[in-house]
Chain A
Amino acid sequence: MGWRWFHQWGSPRWFYERAGRWQLVCGWLALTLLITGSFWGLALAPVDYQQGNSYRIIYLHVPVAFLAQALYTAMAVCAVVLFVWKMKLADVAMQSIAVMGFAFTALSLVSGAVWGKPTWGTYWVWDARLTSMLILAFLYLGVIGLRAAIQDPDQAGKACGILVLVGVVNLPIIKYSVEWWNTLHQPASLKLTEKPAMPASMWIPLLINILGYYIAAGYLILGSMRAIVLERERRSAWVRELVSHA
């Protein structure tokens, strides 16, 4: 009882049909939130008295950096679902999330570096957060590369699942070791600490944008998953019917 909602996810057809609708909702919602949040952040939020206008990058950087890390965890959850319940959709999700995760990680790295230029006077410092973000980008790339190298999709999915699980166990260790390494080599003077008391007009748009980017990621992942489901299920009757009516 009560498990039907979970087993429905085992049906690619059910997912494909529903995902189309969710995607639409997510897309418009994300667009509205992102336009609101970004405009608020760029134009209406007060200037930071220390960093000047360059701080406005956080309305993109912070949500994207959050996403980059959250997506890896999401991928690990998918890997667990794949191994425990043998749900093929979880593998599809893993494939989509890896690509989106890498895109967001790269975006957060670039935005972090550009933010660093006016703030620290240089594009790149071996700051703990930037460094672990860089490692995260390599981890995502590994998952994408492994998937691309193995022909059989089932096998590729399982291999990626193993890699993701090993990665997610290692991720905290990597993070802590990088932080420790950072204190070992340079004093914390360059470390950028978030000011604890941000006025509401500063953090509300940040919150809106965080929500907006999460929903946008959902929109993108759903879209990519639908395409992959269609491709993988190309022989099944429902896909043939769907396509021939289109």
Chain B
Amino acid sequence: MSLERRMFTRELKLIAARPGDILKPIWFLMLVISMVPLALAPDSDLLSEIGSAMIWVATLLALLLNAEHLFQSDFSDGVLEQWLFLDRPLVWLVGLKLITHWLFHVLPLILITPIAGIILSVPTDVLLALLVTLVIATPALTCFSGLGAALTLGSSRSGILGVLVMMPLFVPVVILAAGVLIRAMDGSDTLPLLALLGAFSVVAATFVPIVVSAAIRLNIGGSN
């Protein structure tokens, strides 16, 4: 069995062993979304106007929450340092890990957002735009939150620090996605912005794994 397939099956088995890792962010997302009408007003016009933005922010938080597990448990078990002895470059393995993370941990979160959209009475066409922006933007977000997780591996009580450190870097993505949603709301052309968002994701997915592997290498070198 090739190393790539081994990593993939291992990830699947880990999910089967710890279903909470996937369920908790979804739970979190739905909980935050349910809080919005309670904190604001059950007025559906108001909700539909801010709903898509709320879902975006909540997804962002949920995404960062589950990125914390990306490397932490493998690092403290000493499995992560074994990656260096496998006959693949570390960058490649990091890239694979980020891809599996996106597939198994981020995609479920995106798939749940229509339900969140329905309960916040977001109009269907906006909801569709929301889904598209999430699918296009999350690769970049996954890479950056992975970097946050990798940078804070070395600190014993990192907790939410990875989130705090990486959040400012999400600004361009959030702004572009919001631009798409605004245009979708008044029915104008969203394609140019989506292309820009996609470009950002592609660039991030190309370069950030290199930085992530450097950060991991650094933290392995410092632990004992």
Contact = CB atoms under 8 A, between A and B. Distances in A.
Interface of A: 135, 138-139, 141-142, 145-146, 149-152, 154-156, 158-159, 162-163, 165-167, 170, 173-174, 176-178, 180-181, 184
Interface in B153-167: 154-158, 161, 164-167
B168 A142 contact: yes
A176 B166 CA distance: 18
Nearest to A157: B218
Interface of B: 147, 151-152, 154-158, 161, 164-169, 171-172, 175-176, 178-179, 182, 200, 208, 211, 214-215, 218-219, 221-222
A194 B154 CA distance: 46
Contacts of B166: 142
A138 B172 contact: no
A41 B156 CA distance: 50
Contact of B165 (A146, A152, A178): A146
B61 to A, nearest CB: 15
Nearest to A152: B222
Given A150-B155, A159-B154, A163-B151, A142 B171 contact: no
Contacts of A181: 175, 178-179
A181 B178 CA distance: 9
Contacts of B155: 146, 149-151
Contacts of A184: 179, 182
Contacts, number: 83
B165 A145 contact: yes
Contacts of A156: 154
Given A138-B167, A142-B165, A173 B172 contact: yes
A166 B161 contact: no
Given A158-B218, A178-B171, 9 more contacts: A138-B168, A142-B165, A149-B152, A150-B222, A151-B156, A154-B222, A155-B221, A177-B175, A180-B179
B161 A149 contact: yes
The B contact surface, by secondary structure, is helix
A166 B154 contact: no
A158 B172 CA distance: 25
Counting chain A CB atoms within 10 Å of each CB, the highest count among B169, B211, B214 belongs to B169
A162 B218 CA distance: 10
Contacts of A142: 164-166, 168
A155 B161 contact: no
Nearest to B215: A162
B164 A141 contact: yes
A166 B179 contact: no
B164 A180 contact: no
Contact of A166 (B171, B211, B219, B222): B211
A146 B169 contact: no
Nearest to B160: A145
A135 B211 contact: no
B219 A146 contact: no
Nearest to B167: A138
Contacts of A177: 171-172, 175-176
A184 B161 CA distance: 32
A80 to B, nearest CB: 14
A149 B167 CA distance: 17
A117 to B, nearest CB: 26
Contacts of A163: 151, 165
B151 A159 contact: yes
A177 B178 CA distance: 11
Counting chain B CB atoms within 10 Å of each CB, the highest count among A139, A158, A167 belongs to A158
A155 B154 contact: yes
A65 B178 CA distance: 28
B181 to A, nearest CB: 11
Contacts of B156: 151
A181 B179 CA distance: 8
